[in-house]
Amino acid sequence: MHFRQQFLFPSTPTGEPFVYLAGNSLGLQPIKAREYINQELEDWAKFGVEGHLHARHPWLPYHEFVTESLARIVGARPSEVVAMNSLTVNLHLLMVSFYRPTPKRFRIVIESGAFPSDQYAVASQARFHGFDPKTAIVSLAPRAGESTLRTEDILAFLEREGDSVALLLLGNVNYLTGQAFAMAPITAAAQKQGCVVGWDLAHGAGNLNLQLHDWNVDFAAWCSYKYLNSGPGGIAGIFVHERHGLRSDIPRFAGWWGHSKQTRFQMGPEFEGMSGAEGWQLSNPPIFQLAALRASLELFDAATIPRLREKAIALTGYLEGLLDSIPQRQFEVITPRDPEQRGCQLSLRILGNGRELAAKLTAKGILCDFREPDIIRASPVPLYNSFLDVYRFAEVLRRFGGKA
């Protein structure tokens, strides 16, 4: 299968397709997404409420149609994942269960420069439990003069102060720098100190080869509209390790879709939570969003994460080499050079006017992503980007010399 042909590319004013390097912000639309959504619209018109049982893909169990694919994406068992809600909502629901502070162990550790929504979420959770975020939130920062965190510095902090940490919550790929953290050793080191470990996989799911079950991660959450191509505001997902999902004593907010399937429609007054990640559900899921996600995940199942990761390393390495060859560069690449410490994103710190440079790239048919104050993020996504895309981007950048 030629995967690139399975996606729709936005067009320039002249009708040519953009070189689309913004999949780390919003993935492209799979061609089948329209077909799958239209199918549900047709079944809604045909069956009304009976579509829950009689649609071609019945709505009642629809979220289950993507479960095994999601499990493969993040390296989990099917019972450990579920598609539900949006990313920050899910992080809050998971912190209800897994951020259980005490007077001694109350701190939450995040990375400096974490996505703002994560920063807001953890600060509000600390305040909710009666703690001052100024003392409860620890933001691990790079060393002076460096742009990314060193694994040894994270491990050293955990060894030194881990007994005061209730929760370690890192973005496994930092949205701004593109740095991918060493999840397995960091998880093990934090848990050795008694910390609960969660990961925000917004920029990792569909990008990296993840093994959440084997790495013994406590919980994780991700959105699906970036590398997983589910469309703007697409349904998100969670992972809860089975050692937690099989317990009934973990506190959580309850809703009827997390209730036992066997007795859900008896409408009883007492909550009977399901085991596994499904037990964290609150409401029945949005079918149209699931349909779009299903269209994309079918392509991931055909391509497979290991093969995509292999191509991503080659694509990103090719981009890095082309950027290195540009003379008198007016930018610096702040993403780590080690392929094991990055996905398929390279972040460029522009030494001139970054916003103006991004606009010039767009005018030349290159669609990247600008983040204040001075970062252009370019992400050659292996599922639909080509080596020619990478070359064209680098040649346009070379023409400007990196200057805004």
CA distance 230 to 61: 19
pLDDT, residue 401, reads: 65
Evaluate if residue 1 carries a pLDDT over 70: no
CA distance 255 to 252: 10
pLDDT digits (tens, 9 = 90+) for 351-379: 989 999 999 999 999 999 999 999 999 99
Domain boundaries 304-400, corresponding CATH code? 3.90.1150.10
CA distance 186 to 162: 12
pLDDT digits (tens, 9 = 90+) for 2-56: 999 999 999 999 999 999 999 999 999 999 999 999 999 999 999 999 999 999 9
| CB-based burial, 47-76: b 16+ in 10 Å, e otherwise | beeebeeebebbbeebbebbbebbbbbbbb
CA distance 233 to 9: 19
pLDDT, residue 19, reads: 98
CA distance 120 to 116: 6
CA distance 170 to 294: 27
Which of 291, 345, 290 lies closest to 316, judged by CA? Answer: 345
The answer to whether the beta carbons of residues 331 and 402 sit under 8 Å apart is: yes
CA distance 320 to 246: 45
Question: What's the average model confidence in pLDDT over 197-206?
Answer: 98
Evaluate if residue 402 carries a pLDDT over 90: no
The answer to whether the beta carbons of residues 393 and 369 sit under 8 Å apart is: no
pTM over 0.85: yes
pLDDT, residue 188, reads: 98
Within a 13 Å sphere around the CA of 33, how many CA atoms are in the beta-carbon half?
22
Evaluate if residue 274 carries a pLDDT over 80: yes
Question: What's the average model confidence in pLDDT over 80-91?
Answer: 98
pLDDT, residue 32, reads: 98
| CB-based burial, 90-119: b 16+ in 10 Å, e otherwise | bbbbbbbbbbebeeebbbbbbbebbbeebb
Cβ atoms within 10 A of the Cβ of 349, count? 17
CA distance 336 to 342: 6
Domain boundaries 51-301, corresponding CATH code? 3.40.640.10
Give φ, ψ of 106 to 5 degrees: -135, -5
CA distance 376 to 382: 19
CA distance 231 to 246: 32
Evaluate if residue 404 carries a pLDDT over 50: no
Report the alpha-carbon angle 218-222-227, nearest 5.
135
| CB-based burial, 281-309: b 16+ in 10 Å, e otherwise | bbeebbbbbbbbbbbbbbbbeebebeebb
Question: What's the average model confidence in pLDDT over 315-337?
Answer: 95
Strand partners, 219: 198, 240
Q: At what angle do helices 305-324 and 287-303 cross, to 10 degrees?
A: 80
Question: What's the average model confidence in pLDDT over 97-109?
Answer: 98
Residue extents of the structural domains in the chain: 51-301, 304-400
